[in-house]
């Protein structure tokens, strides 16, 4: 296998694009997920990955194998993402635009309005790992974790992901970032402290295992309650500190009382939905389709649930432009 790899690398260095695609293909998915953690946006992550592959192709002749090829690619990807975070004009917050719904006063206005969900088909979870390892894998890509990362300074984000999520050594990370080991360790210490301050629900119950009977039961109850606009049944599923957000709209609601008022404002508007299941960020998710009067339900968004035990502790609503990334149609026939 090593002989074939060396032969492919030589061919790629000589300008063989097919060979280059073959040597980079095993790393594409993990690099995309890395860029997503760095940027919080699936669309931006795809752009960063393409920039990374173009830069790697252009610089391949100079790759001297002082590190592994994978490490070299991560160095390029990380620095592309750092440049994007420094220079990109993040998409602005949007005004409330749900017809016929007058929401209650939000608890606060969020700042991470560029957040987008990541389809689970882009992930490569180790389903054979221990429950603890599987939980750590899911947490490392959860919406709560990715959102918290976006609040940290860019270099702290890079160091924390490279060290704590991907397991690179301090020396490797310092080299990737053209820094010193002391500076990288200092950034990691500050990033860990900042992450602890920003992550919500540190004392919550862990979620049930993905695709387990326990998860399926909570999801089924949510679908029944939401599709039938059964507010009482929905509220029974919520934790006391449940959190609702809806990027790119900055409205955020925290606590069962205000979230109940928010859901009531939607149900009072006579808006009724059909939900199509999918998964995002290792979490249950649904394409939301608004029922029309002609037997057609039109896609209006994507809901992602965060579970704590047998309850829902967060729901994030994204706009309908993300549906295509999940392979979901623009409309379905109403049920």
Q: Is residue 137 part of a domain?
A: yes
Q: 310 lies in a domain?
A: yes
53's CB contacts (< 8 A; 6+ apart) are: 24, 28
CATH classification of the domain holding 238? 3.10.450.50
Separation of alpha carbons 136 and 26, rounded Å = 22
Q: Is residue 261 situated within a structural domain?
A: yes
Q: How confident is the model at residue 108 (pLDDT cuts 50, 70, 90)?
A: very high
pLDDT at 10 over 70: yes
Shared domain for 145 and 78, answered yes or no, is yes
Q: What is the pLDDT of residue 4?
A: 39
The answer to whether residue 98 scores a pLDDT higher than 80 is yes
What percent of the chain shows pLDDT beyond 70?
A: 93
Contacts of 135 (CB under 8 A, 6+ apart): 206
pLDDT at 41 over 90: yes
Q: What is the pLDDT of residues 186-210, one digit of tens each?
A: 999 999 999 888 765 557 889 999 9
At 3 the pLDDT is: 36
* pLDDT for residue 251 is more than 90: yes
- The count of other CB atoms within 10 Å of the CB of residue 136 is 12
Give the model's pLDDT for residue 127: 54
Res 203: pLDDT: 73
Q: Do 270 and 304 reside in the same domain of the chain? A: yes
Flag whether 239 is in a domain: yes
Let me know whether 172 and 283 are in one domain: no
Residue 37 pLDDT grade (very low, low, confident, very high; cuts 50, 70, 90): very high
Final residue belonging to a domain, choices 198, 229, 256: 198
- Domain shared by 230 and 285, yes or no: yes
Residue 283 shares a structural domain with residue 137: no
178 plus 220 within the same structural domain: no
Mean pLDDT (whole number) for 300-312 = 97
Residues 220, 155 share a domain: no
- The reply to whether 261 and 328 lie within a common domain is yes
Token digits of residue 90? 């993040």
How does pLDDT run across 148-160, given as a tens digit for each residue?
999 999 999 999 9
Dist. CA 301–CA 321, nearest whole Å: 7
Q: Are 313 and 306 contacting, i.e. CB atoms less than 8 angstroms apart? A: yes
Closest CA to 33 of 271, 329, 281: 281
Mean pLDDT confidence for 234-254: 97
The verdict on residue 169 lying in a domain is yes
| Residue 206 within a domain | no
Structural domain count, the chain: 2
Q: Is residue 217 part of a domain?
A: yes
pLDDT at 260 exceeding the cut of 70: yes
Q: What is the arithmetic mean of pLDDT over 254-276?
A: 96
Same structural domain, 156 and 245: no
Query: What's the pLDDT score for residue 88?
Result: 62
Same domain, 169 and 242: no
End residue of a domain, out of 151, 174, 198: 198
Average pLDDT over residues 126-144: 74
C-alpha closest to that of 165 among 191, 190, 186, 183 = 191
Residue 301 pairs with which residues in a beta bridge?
288, 319
Q: Which of 146, 167, 198 is the endpoint of a domain?
A: 198
In which domain, by residue range, is 324 found? 213-333
Same domain, 151 and 32: yes
Token pair recorded at residue 9 = 């690398």
Residue 151 belongs to a domain: yes
Answer for the pair 103, 60: CB distance below 8 angstroms, yes or no: no
- Domain identity same for 290 and 239: yes
pLDDT band of 228, cuts 50, 70, 90: very high
pTM of the model: 0.92
């Amino acid at each position: 296998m090593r002989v074939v790899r060396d032969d492919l690398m030589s061919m790629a260095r000589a300008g063989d694009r097919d060979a280059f695609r073959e040597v980079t293909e095993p790393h594409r998915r993990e690099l995309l997920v890395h860029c997503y953690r760095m940027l919080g946006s699936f669309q931006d992550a795809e752009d960063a990955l393409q920039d990374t592959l173009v830069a790697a192709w252009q610089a391949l002749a100079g790759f001297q194998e002082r590190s592994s090829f994978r490490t070299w690619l991560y160095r390029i990807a990380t620095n592309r993402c750092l440049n994007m975070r420094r220079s990109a004009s993040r998409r602005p917050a949007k005004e409330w635009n749900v017809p016929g719904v007058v929401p209650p006063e939000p608890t606060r206005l969020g700042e991470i309005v560029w957040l987008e969900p990541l389809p689970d088909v882009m992930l490569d979870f180790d389903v054979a790992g221990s429950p603890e390892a599987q939980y750590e894998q899911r947490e490392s890509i959860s919406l709560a974790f990715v959102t918290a990362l976006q609040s940290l300074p860019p270099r702290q984000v890079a160091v924390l992901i490279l060290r704590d999520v991907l397991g690179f050594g301090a020396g490797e990370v310092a080299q990737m970032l053209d820094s010193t080991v002391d500076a990288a360790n200092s950034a990691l210490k500050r990033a860990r402290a900042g992450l602890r301050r920003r992550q919500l629900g540190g004392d919550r119950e862990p979620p049930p295992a993905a695709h387990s009977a326990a998860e399926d039961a909570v999801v089924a109850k949510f679908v029944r309650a939401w599709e039938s606009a059964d507010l009482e049944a929905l509220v029974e599923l919520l934790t006391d500190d449940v959190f609702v957000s809806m990027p790119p709209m900055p409205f955020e609601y925290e606590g069962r009382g205000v979230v109940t008022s928010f859901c009531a404002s939607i149900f009072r508007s006579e808006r009724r939905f059909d939900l199509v299941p999918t998964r995002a960020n290792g979490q249950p998710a649904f394409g939301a389709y608004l029922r029309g009067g002609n037997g057609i339900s039109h896609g209006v968004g994507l809901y992602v649930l965060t579970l704590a035990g047998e309850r829902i502790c967060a729901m994030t609503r994204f706009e309908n432009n993300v549906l295509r990334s999940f392979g979901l149609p623009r409309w379905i026939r109403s049920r």
